[in-house]
Amino acid sequence: MPGLPPTVGWVMSTRREHPTHTTGVHRAHRGTHRAAARPPAPVDPYRDHLDGLFTYCLSVMCEHEAAISVLGEALAVAERQRRRGRTPADTALHRPWLYALARWSCLRLLAERQGVRPEPPELPGPLATARRRELAALAWPEAAGTGPEQREALELAVRHHLPVHEVAAVLGTDHDGTELLLSSAACEVERTRTALAVVDRGGCPAVARLAGDREVLLGSALRRELVRHVDECPECRRTAERVLAGGPWPGTAPADVGALTVLPAPRAEVHAAMLAAQRARAQHTPRFDRRGFPVTTRDRAERFDRLRSRAVTTTVVATVVAAPLLALWAAYRGAPLADGGPGGAPVSASERRDPGSPYGSPQGDGGRAGGTGASRDGSGLRIDVAGADGAEGRGAPSSGTDRPGGAGGEGPPRGEDGTGPGRLTVEAQPSGDATVVTLTASGGSPVHWTASVNASWLRLDRTHGTLRPGESAAFAVTVDRSREPAGAWTARISIAPAKAVITLQGHGAEAPAEPRPSEPPEPEPSEPPAPEPTPEPPSSTPPPEPSPPPAGQPD
């Protein structure tokens, strides 16, 4: 016991003899090990795409707090999948994978809110002004005429510079369908761009009255009126032709527009939102496909597929030789470019709607088959039209003939569309039990066309002909029920030289044995003989009645 204090003092003195910096170095060394074991900040692997992802989320949510929240959740899911080694095997798909996760997170929050937008938080004046300015920077007036699916695909392709296959990966659609979606959206953007160029040129008082103050935000209603007027006014159409002269082929220009605004992401706030999503008790995780991409809700995909399958009219311009001008406008109107054409209203693809079907017919279109916009309920045919972009024909010597004053005065050079090589517009519409295919020629030379089919159960009442500029021809396609295969079938009609392909999808009657089981009601009358033994039990029931009289005899 008396030796304890010296021992304690010795221990304390020995600890003092050791340099204190050694323990400090050891702790620092141990701290570096901890720092090395700690994974890097989750934002770092996604630094290159963070601005684009935030801009995409903000364009969908239209609110900064919500955009930051959904982006943080998407990055948390991405980091979780990365640590588990479940990212897409193809590194080239890393960017569309991140956009697909951001899209899933946006859709999840929108579905959770069920259309109810929360009250925006109270912000100081300068910050609120800055956020309003950022939202205004995302406006794209030229895309005012596009539908929701078209606008989303355009945003990914034009603002975020995603190629077609990456856009398809983000949206979860096939490559061909995405390409057609982008092409139709590009056509609407070019129609709006041309109408705005006509407004800037001036010269038409009607356009000046419609446009009014050019500082006003171009909405869908004003855009529709402007495009309709440019379609119908001869003076404005001539101005539009001059605007488009020498420009790119319709449907390809949006990829060449000036760079759209991409906002810088608030990285600190996004990082905080990501950490909050990682620490949250309720971890929202999507379903993934085999490639590792999130799968959206099934009802949304089925709704979009129903809209596509119920499409009554699909119009695509298929050209013999690529030339600018306004043939594409005529395709969407369903009429040639001549002044005396039918009085159909100029309707864009996203505007052809009526209460009966998602893609109705233009008002006042009384001359064309299928103008009622009714789908074929009995046959359930689905019609898709796809056309070539004219790339193969660009080797033809069209540069010297598609301008006024070129080679001779052949054809109708005075027509507004009477210049350049021949072009063909292909349109398919259901009409009763048939599908009517309408071909319209434009340009400066006749077009010799042929139609062929790859299915023996389809009948074409006309297979070839010659159309001069401004002329139209129609032929009917019918289904031979005696040769129609059972179950689902697909057939294609090829239009040459436009390289347009009309795809018909139908469903033949199943095995004809189905109506026969309804015929054997005959065995049913044969069954009543079986009830004949049943009358015997009633006879067995009366015997108890005679039995009481014998019981009365003993009485």
CA 205 to chain centre: 37
Cis amide linkage into residue 497, ω under 30° from 0? yes
**Considering the entire predicted model, what is its pTM?**
0.49
- Tell me, what's the pLDDT at 246? 61
- Tell me, what's the pLDDT at 368? 33
- The Cα–Cα gap between 2 and 38 comes to 50
Name the region of 252 (left: φ>0; alpha: ψ -120 to 50; beta: rest): alpha
Can you read off the two tokens belonging to residue 107? 């859709």
- Tell me, what's the pLDDT at 512? 53
Averaging pLDDT over each range in 206-215, 268-277, 412-421, which range is the top one? 268-277
Q: Which residues pair with 410 in a beta bridge?
A: none
- Tell me, what's the pLDDT at 387? 57
Judge whether 152 and 304 are in contact, CB under 8 Å: no
Judge whether 70 and 115 are in contact, CB under 8 Å: no
CATH topology (fold) of 310-393+415-508: Immunoglobulin-like (2.60.40)
Q: Where in the chain do CATH 2.60.40.10 domains reside?
A: 310-393+415-508
- Give tens-digit pLDDT for 79-128: 998 888 888 888 889 999 999 999 999 999 988 887 666 666 777 788 88
What residue type is assigned to position 235 of the chain?
A: E
pLDDT band for position 496 (cuts 50, 70, 90): confident
Q: Are strands 458-460 and 434-442 parallel, antiparallel or unpaired?
A: unpaired
- Tell me, what's the pLDDT at 336? 37
- Tell me, what's the pLDDT at 250? 55
**Burial status of residue 244 (CB atoms within 10 A of its CB: 0-12, 13-18, 19 or more):** buried
